[in-house]
Chains A and B, each alone.
Chain A
Amino acid sequence: MQRDKFFKEVENVTHPNEKLVKTHCSYCGMQCGMNLRVNTKTNKIIGVEPRYDWPVTVGKMCPKGVTAYQQTNHDDRILKPLIRDDASLKGTKEGFREASWDEAYDLIVNKFQELQNNYGKDSLSVYSGVSMTNEKCYLTGKFARVGLQTRYIDYNGRFCMASAAGGFMRSFGVDRGSTLPWTDLHETDCLFIAGSNTAECHPTSMFRVWAVQERGGYLIVADPRETPIARRADVHLDLRPGTDLALANGILNQLIQNGYADEEFVNKHTNGFEETKELVKLFTPEYTSELTGVAPEKIIRAAEIYGKAPNAIVMFARGIEQQVKGVDNVSGYTNMALVTGKIGRPKAGVATFTGQGNGQGGREHGQKADALPGYRKIANPEHVKEVAKVWGIEPEEMPEAGVSAYEMFGLMEQKTIRGLYLLCSNPAVSAPNLNYVREQMKNLDFMVCADFYLSESAEFADVILPTTTWAEDEGTVTNLEGRCIKINKAQEPLGESKPDWQIQIELCERLGRGKYFSHLKSASDVGEEFRLASKGGNADYYGITWDKIEKQDGVFWPCKDENDKGTPHMFLDKKFYHPDGKAKICALPYRPPAEEPSEKFPLRLTTGRVVYHYLSGNQTRRIQFLKDMCPEAYVEVHPETAQKYNISHEEKVRLFTLRGEAIYKVKITEAIRKDTVFVPYHFGHDQSINLLTIAALDPMSRMPEFKACAAQIEKLELKKVQ
């Protein structure tokens, strides 16, 4: 299915004494297909071979994907449980000793029970992630609510996809990251891409992006930096960080004023047009330019191209979502598609570039503080009943909704939360305002970290449990298209490591909750229960079996039963998921970033990724090739700005905000706004840019504003002289 002009029949190379295991990359939402090369004598993973038969990426991989296999048998793997008896060493790598699983489990059970007996069930918390399979994500929600019986569970998608989710829920009534398959991208006539450094963060989308231009189509990019994709854009909207909503409103106004609104579509299939039209009138090209710093002509031109295009796709990523108005930005840009009716058909629609491998699936099935499997809500008694039945508990036993990831650290400070079970995440690097966050992790009464490497966050743990890498377990993930795909096992777990689901089941058995978990003996058992638990929800996976995934090259949700082939294109019937079947065009008043530049902090600091690293870098910073390519953090500065501060290329400077400071090497480039500096966020300890970022949260998604805060640079020698 969906084999397009890029698909070529190619036979793979298989070397003697080797077999190939079909799977997907461990990292980003592209989930590029790959074959792992396994030595059939040692049964160890030894390399990678392109997977030409995967229709989305046809063999292509970024350098992270090419080297991903090196994670599994890496020297840094944790091979046995580790216990640290001396709590004063928290926050360092020191003091851990190897232990047996039994000893580690006993200690955890004792400590967890002691805390819950003294301070109540909710004194424990679970902090999770979505770079793991649906099976694991699903079970982690059940582990927290049924196993530990705590309300406090949340996950790192709060720093990633939460705003996209919130915006799509509001605009469409459903949160599927893309309304169309990626194999449509190159066939559209205009791509409008906002806040996505696509060439570095989702590189294997790029051959489709360039193909649009090769056909004579247009590429419009909104980004404060001239990223590799912006370099070749027909229009580059070089806006100030944190001003997306003004730009979205300004473009919408132009579309309406110039007659590009599709009145029939708007009347039949949407609500909210009139009040939105009124609100955006204020956003003339001149006013929009004042707020965003983008020239009025560019705004007019971008709207003209998008308006004229027979088919167009609006796309965005963390650049617009990691803001204090991230949800509004998402709905704001989505308005463009709804007002012009460029949605609900092939080659036209809206998509977000999902950051993590399973950012889509992982947020749908109950790791979110307020959500249950199948995208159900804890606040809805019917939803609770449905899930409670699958779990075998009484609806009354279902804990209430908890709080978002960053807010959990607040509860740690108040001692409401005293114990933490952390998995698949590294908040000591990825959370904002790190001085505060690290302090709270240090002050926990008891912390467990499940990981396969000793991450910066694991340095705060009392017990570390060794988990498997993605290639030592099987299960499904849902890629950025909303396509559920299969991750296959290529090697037995290294050392004594175990997959997260197994660890959680064994812990629950020791906590006396075995009757809810002991029937699950394999990843596929967990998968079967998860299908059942999602049945009837918005994100219905009931019809997605591992067999069907194999046969169809993945299955797009919703997929309700065995005969349902899934839903590659959303809204083809123009039915949206709000009760009246209509989409919502949203009137969104502009708000500036939480912290605007001032005399003391005149620069806008924005953060992001580089092509060589993934998230907190806990995995990629250990891979030699990737380390060689990008060994350390740096600050990107425009040459004119550098001149003002009298600083030069490669010089080390102090960058600081109200919350923290760090020392970085300067990287001079004209490909950034003069009022903006950029630092990649993949680095730990004193290199973490999140020491400086602000924890201002979006009121709906609770997403922190990683993308804009006020900062200042200081030349180092000057300080010494004083």
Chain B
Amino acid sequence: MEKKRLYLELENCIGCRSCLAACTQCGGHEERNRNYVYDVNPLVNRQTMPLMCLHCVNPACARSCPAQAIQIHETGAVLSALVEKCIGCQNCTIACPYGIPKFDEEQNLMYKCDLCIDRTKDGIPPMCASVCPSNTLQWLSDSEIEAKQKQFNLDNGKWVTSLPYLEGETNVKVNLPGILQGTTKLF
């Protein structure tokens, strides 16, 4: 099976927060969502965007962890903290440049997006990308992502994506707002 990745097209987001509702539904998520949706320009317009773990190839969260509680799955997914290892120091919540890891005070435990590992390990799309009504969150093969890259190449020859704009290489690919700039109109 061709490897699939989470792919984000931020410009599509309609702010429905279905991704948050869906995240609570994934097995082992204890009905708590691990993702975020922000109003980009509150008081001005209705633009919103999801903030998701990008599953960094060299994740700051895992590097910062003194207890090796954050494991990286063979698929590249950066997993939620292991209950038996996490010491609740909260280093990772500070280390992550996007503020993804959340902290459960009661359990003294970090929890974060695990890319719905019990689904994605078998090639089944994560809950959030399954339900997202606007195709902001998609689950695509590398060749599909490549096609997107060609389609949204901007005049300046750059692919509006996680590189080189964001921190390091990520498993999740992101298309920043502005994807339609390169579109040729039909008529």
Q: Which residues of A approach B to under 8 Å, CB–CB? A: 10-13, 15, 47-50, 52, 59-63, 65-67, 189, 199-200, 203-207, 210-211, 213-218, 226-229, 231-232, 308-310, 611-612, 625, 629, 639, 649, 668-671
Contacts and interface: CB of A to CB of B under 8 A. Distances in A.
B18 A13 contact: no
Contacts of A612: 17
B46 A67 contact: no
Given A199-B134, A227-B46, A216 B21 contact: no
Contacts of A65: 18, 131
B46 A10 contact: no
A670 B18 contact: no
B43 A649 contact: yes
Nearest to B151: A214
A207 B187 contact: no
B131 A218 contact: no
B134 A206 contact: yes
Contacts of A308: 187
A204 B131 CA distance: 9
Contact of B12 (A10, A52, A61, A210): A210
A671 B45 contact: yes
A183 B124 CA distance: 23
Contacts of B166: none
Contact of A669 (B27, B43, B48, B185): B43
B167 interface: no
Highest count of chain A CB atoms <10 Å: which of B17, B25, B47, B133:
B133
A61 B18 contact: yes
Counting from the closest, the 8 A-B pairs by CB-CB distance are A199-B14, A203-B133, A63-B21, A66-B21, A207-B135, A216-B186, A50-B130, A228-B14
| Chain B contact residues: helix, strand, loop or mixed | loop
B11 interface: yes
B186 A61 contact: no
Contacts of A670: 43-45
14 contacts: A10-B125, A13-B119, A50-B131, A61-B133, A66-B18, A66-B131, A189-B186, A199-B15, A204-B133, A231-B46, A611-B16, A649-B43, A669-B44, A671-B44
A198 to B, nearest CB: 9
Interface string B92-120: 00000000000000000000000000110
B60 to A, nearest CB: 30
Contacts of B25: 47-49, 66
A437 B33 CA distance: 41
Contacts of B24: 625
B131 A61 contact: yes
Nearest to A623: B21
A226 B118 CA distance: 39
B124 A11 contact: yes
A254 B29 CA distance: 56
Given A67-B21, A308-B187, A625-B21, A59 B124 contact: no
Contacts of A15: 27
Given A63-B18, A228-B15, 17 more contacts: A12-B124, A47-B25, A60-B132, A62-B18, A62-B131, A63-B20, A65-B131, A66-B21, A206-B134, A210-B134, A217-B185, A218-B185, A227-B46, A228-B14, A231-B45, A309-B187, A669-B44
Contacts of A60: 130-133
Contacts of B125: 10, 50, 59
Contact of B47 (A205, A207, A215, A231): A231
B186 A229 contact: no
Contacts of A10: 124-125
Contacts of B22: 61, 66
A63 B48 CA distance: 15
B83 interface: no
Contacts of B57: none
A425 B10 CA distance: 38
B109 to A, nearest CB: 22
Interface in B136-187: 151, 179-180, 183-187
Given A66-B22, A625-B21, A13 B14 contact: no
Interface string B22-34: 1011010000000
Contact of B15 (A49, A189, A309, A611): A611
A642 to B, nearest CB: 10
B22 to A, nearest CB: 5
A712 B125 CA distance: 49
A70 to B, nearest CB: 10
A214 B43 contact: no
Highest count of chain A CB atoms <10 Å: which of B11, B118, B179, B186:
B186
Contacts of A66: 18, 21-22, 25, 131
Nearest to A189: B186
Contact of A203 (B18, B47, B124, B151): B18
Contacts of A207: 12, 133-135
B18 A217 contact: no
B170 to A, nearest CB: 23
A52 B43 contact: no
Interface string B67-108: 000000000000000000000000000000000000000000
Contact of B17 (A48, A63, A211): A63
Given A48-B25, A60-B130, A229 B124 contact: no
A65 B19 CA distance: 12
Contacts of A232: 11, 180
Contacts of B180: 213-214, 232
A67 B27 CA distance: 15
A402 B39 CA distance: 48
A203 B14 CA distance: 8
B128 to A, nearest CB: 10
Nearest to A668: B43
A501 B134 CA distance: 37
Contact of B27 (A11, A13, A62, A229): A13
A556 B21 CA distance: 32
A308 B187 CA distance: 8
A246 B56 CA distance: 54
Contacts of A199: 14-16, 134
B87 to A, nearest CB: 30
Contact of B16 (A52, A62, A669): A62
B135 A59 contact: no
A67 B20 CA distance: 11
Contacts of B131: 50, 59-62, 65-66
B77 to A, nearest CB: 16
Contacts of B48: 228
A144 B149 CA distance: 60
A213 B187 contact: no
Nearest to B131: A61
A200 B134 CA distance: 11
Contacts of A215: 186
Contacts of A189: 186-187
Contacts of B127: 50
A133 to B, nearest CB: 24
Interface string B56-67: 000000000000
Contacts of B11: 232
Given A63-B17, A66-B25, A13 B124 contact: yes
Nearest to A210: B12
Nearest to B37: A629
A94 to B, nearest CB: 33
Contact of B133 (A49, A206, A231, A668): A206
Contacts of B187: 189, 308-310
Contact of A226 (B20, B46, B183, B184): B46
A90 to B, nearest CB: 37
A453 B125 CA distance: 35
Contacts of B17: 63, 611-612, 629
